[in-house]
Amino acid sequence: MLKKKQLVDFWRVYKQRKTAVFGLAVVLVFCVVLILAPQIAPYDPHLKVGAVYETPSWAHLLGTNDVGYDILSELIFAGRISVMIGLIAAGAAMLLGTVIGLVSGFLGRVVDEVLMRITDMIIALPRLPLMIVMAAYLGPGMWTIVLVYSAVGWPSIARQVRSQVLSVREFTFVEASKAIGGGNIHIMASHILPNVMGIIIANAVLEIVFAILTESGLSFLGLGDPTHASWGVMLHFAQIQGAFFRGIWWWIVSPGLCIVLISSAFYFIGTALNDLFGLKLGKR
């Protein structure tokens, strides 16, 4: 469906945005490092390999933590968790939101009313406190975070998809498909969905940002999974052990910086995609 020419054109416009290119580069670097974690990390992250709270040295570039684990190795493996949870949580929210937005926008009337009222109700509630309460109730863990995030995150996506669907629905080719004999499912899958893909993809990337930040935040508060440390969990332990007061800055700055970097990177990519796809749909 995607022609080579379209990709080439797309890249030409995309690379005009320096921030977007930077973001893409950062993401790629992270991907490489995280995928090759076992090869790149100098030590096993769960092994005591040094004294506690060793300051950064050539042996341990980021020092060690309260139990003597190498922080750099921990950081790299934690990255896998952070990014993975971010991707899965964002993906789940996107999937749920897209399906609901699609159905609601296309079928309209009663279905639309009902779904939108539910959406409104959830949006009205404050996101973070709600997630904290839900996570506390469900107990700490990776899947808790994914569940909590998608439960609270789908409404805003649904709304955006729905509004896109409403405008695509007015195009005559939708009516033409109906005149040919196409049923609702056929039209939604074959005509509406491809035409809202652009917005979906752009939003998906931005969702990843929020998902990573949320996961980090919830983990920092202690609601994450301590057995699968993410950057947020690292920060949580750093805080519990009083690293802030003891001046053990390397333990705090490293996960913090990673969170900021990857979030900004995805953010730049996401906003660029948003602009680009927004333009495309308006084109005649």
Supply 192's token pair.
């509406």
Stretch that binds other proteins, among 76-84, 85-93, 100-108, 188-196 (CB under 8 A): 188-196
| Residue 240 CB burial class (10 angstroms; 0-12, 13-18, ≥19) | exposed
Q: What is the nearest approach in angstroms of other proteins to the Cβ of residue 121? A: 24
Distance between CA 158 and CA 208 in Å, rounded? 16
End-to-end CA distance of the chain: 19
Q: Please, what is the minimum distance in Å from the beta carbon of residue 182 to other proteins?
A: 5
Q: Dihedral of CA 50/54/56/57: which sign?
A: negative
Of 146 and 174, nearer to other proteins (C-beta) is: 174
**Residue 282 beta carbon to other proteins: minimum distance, rounded to whole angstroms:** 12
Nearer to other proteins, 126 or 183 (CB): 183
**Beta carbon nearer to other proteins, 226 or 278:** 278
Q: What pairs with residue 108 in β-bridges?
A: none
> Which one of residues 61, 111, 132, 177 is an interface residue with other proteins (CB under 8 A)?
177
Residues 134-163 that bind other proteins (CB under 8 A): none
Encoded tokens for 47: 């092994």
Smaller CB distance to other proteins: residue 168 or 213? 168
Q: How far is the CB of 13 from other proteins (least distance, A)?
A: 8
| b (16+ CB within 10 A) / e for 14-25 | beebeebbebbe
Binding mask 95-114 for other proteins (x = CB under 8 A): --------------------
Residue 164 in the binding site for other proteins (CB under 8 A): no
Backbone angles phi, psi at 159, to 5 degrees: -60, -45
The most distant pair of C-alpha atoms in the chain lies apart, rounded to whole Å, by 75
One-character DSSP codes across 244-276: HHHT-HHHHHHHHHHHHHHHHHHHHHHHHHHHH
Q: How far is the CB of 5 from other proteins (least distance, A)?
A: 10
Q: Which of 60, 159, 162, 191 binds other proteins (CB under 8 A)?
A: 191
Span from 37-45, 124-132, 186-194, 206-214 in contact with other proteins (CB under 8 A):
186-194
Would you tell me which residues interact with other proteins (CB under 8 A)?
Answer: 1, 3, 171-173, 175-183, 186, 190-191, 194-195, 284
